[in-house]
Chain A
Amino acid sequence: MRLTLFRLYFQSPLKELPRAPSLLGHLLWWYRYTHGREALEELLAEPLPFRLSSVFPEGWLPRPKLPPVQVEETEKRKALKNLRLVSLETFARLAEEGEGALLTAPELSGKTPPEPKRLRRSRVGIDRATGAARKGILFAEELLFPDPQTPYALYLLGDPPFDPKEALAFVGEMGYGGKASVGLGRFRVEGPFPCELPEAKTPTAHMTLAPGPLEGALYYELEPYWGRLGGGYVGATPFKRPHLRTREGSLYREVPGPLALDVTPLEPPEEGVRVYELLQVFPLGVRV
């Protein structure tokens, strides 16, 4: 499958590596602020002609949720259980041979992806009357610190009706995710590069590189999600209505079309406003 690759180099800490629906939301807010509200409404009137993946260290993909193999040896079983990402070479074998290929994979004997470091950072509120740290206002947040030299891969399928590099560069300049106004979530973009990812030659299922809908999932890992509302609602208490979605690596027999889940909170942020979560499976062929 012909894809487009963008390399992201993170220049600051961030709360979470970008995932497809949130990143898409950022790109649409960029479109809203630079092209205007009417242009965005026009763009969203039709199904989007592209799909975004979540972001992974380049050369690594999520481990597909293939039917598990039985392993007697405890140490090996635990190592297998903790494996979240696999290299492209291992993925190519997994896609053709199934989970049994993992038993001889280098990942089980210590080959690990470049994971960001974690640090708990504390912040305090300043008391306006005394200028000192104010009692009772201490925030602790756990942040990811990716190595600024390590490329992280974002894959694009299809053709967006705007320049994706320009949009990504803007998001990287402004900051992805929470606390962007205090410097979190900055990245530099390289690309676009044409790219192929390994797939099964005659696939019987598809693994997704983005969170997907529960409907139509074959083997999957679920996550409950109730993210905050972005853009103009930043900081507001209403969250999206909680819903279930599948994690990256989940399998689908068929590739479903985009699903717009209505996740409007019980008290909508504005009268007449509906909030949707767009879930699109980003497929890579595997044999089950």
Chain B
Amino acid sequence: MKLRKIIRIRAILLAKSGLRIGMSRDQMAIGDLDNPVIRNPLTEEPYIPGSSLKGKLRYLLEWALGGDYILKSKDKHVYASPDPQDPVARIFGLAPENNPESLRIAQERGPTRLLVRDAYLTEDSKRELERVAARGGLYTEIKQEVFIPRLGGNANPRTTERVPAGARFGVEMTYRVLDALDEEYFKKYLLKALKLLELDGLGGHISRGYGQVFFLHPGKPWEGQEDLPLEERLEIQEVPL
């Protein structure tokens, strides 16, 4: 097993609706938000952790493939396929059990092919959001929602922090190609998962309209990309070794 090449995918992720990737907090001051978004502690800017993006891609692909991925994932975090050619385990990785057979399969399968980076706000998007900051927020909007009790009574308000629609993040992923099957899986499964992400969503509350995302090619004018297929809206490069 030898590394043949690396494929790098770059894109701008456009939040078409408010995007909320939350974080938990250890302490809360009086008047604090109870649902903050995750932020870089150095810059206080919201970002998309690679784990959120990768986890959602994996989840969508597993649902698209169905079967054991859903039915047998109950006892474990994810379904551990015994097949070294299993596309999900190959692309997204799988921690082997501590037994010789599982380790043998892991070795035959090889390392995780897909690496997903944390996605940070683009410079121009940051400047736009700084104008929001001047109006009291901190690169985000505080959205007020109300829960309505079905049998009358008082409305129960809740506040949620989210990155406003229109924000853009620089996305970068790396895909390792160790054999011909990896090349096939890149087109067949990874691009499919990215398409599903645009149709589904990212982050929390997507069933209520949050988290609609759209990929834009970073090197092309953004106007007119709405009608292009996904493959043409991603910058896909082969990195020489």
Contacts and interface: CB of A to CB of B under 8 A. Distances in A.
Interface of A: 12-13, 33-34, 36, 117-123, 125-126, 128-129, 131, 134, 137, 140, 145, 147-148, 173-175, 179-184, 186, 231-238, 267, 269-271
B96 interface: yes
Contacts of B54: 181-182
A122 B24 contact: yes
For the complex of A and B, the 5 pairs showing the least CB-CB separation, nearest first, are A183-B50, A235-B95, A237-B98, A182-B51, A182-B50
Contacts of A175: 115
Contacts of A140: 24
9 contacts: A12-B50, A33-B3, A33-B111, A123-B51, A128-B78, A175-B115, A182-B116, A232-B111, A233-B106
A195 B172 CA distance: 34
Contacts of B42: 117, 145, 147-148
Contacts of A13: 118
A107 B139 CA distance: 37
B70 A129 contact: yes
A128 B51 contact: no
B49 A121 contact: yes
A267 B102 CA distance: 14
B116 A121 contact: no
A238 B221 CA distance: 51
Contacts of A267: 98
Nearest to A39: B2
Contacts of A129: 70, 73-74
A33 B2 contact: yes
A180 B93 CA distance: 11
For chain B, which range describes its interface: under 10, 10 to 19, 20 to 34, or 35 or more residues?
35 or more
A239 to B, nearest CB: 10
B64 interface: no
Contacts of A147: 42
Nearest to A173: B174
Given A33-B3, A34-B241, A128-B69, A183 B63 contact: no
Given A128-B73, A183-B118, A120 B26 contact: yes
B95 A236 contact: yes
Nearest to B92: A181
Contacts, number: 111
B2 A126 contact: no
Contacts of B117: 12, 183, 186
B59 interface: yes
B136 interface: no
A231 B103 CA distance: 12
A145 B40 contact: yes
B198 interface: no
B41 interface: yes
Nearest to A146: B42
A128 B116 contact: no
B198 to A, nearest CB: 17
A122 B23 CA distance: 7
B174 A174 contact: yes
A236 B106 contact: yes
A234 B49 contact: no
A134 B93 CA distance: 20
B191 interface: no
Contacts of B77: 125, 134, 137
Nearest to B206: A131
A119 B40 CA distance: 9
A82 to B, nearest CB: 22
B84 interface: no
Nearest to A231: B111
Contact of B106 (A122, A126, A232, A271): A232
B59 A126 contact: yes
B197 interface: no
B115 A128 contact: no
Interface string B2-14: 1100100000000
B209 to A, nearest CB: 16
Interface in B106-161: 106-107, 110-112, 114-118
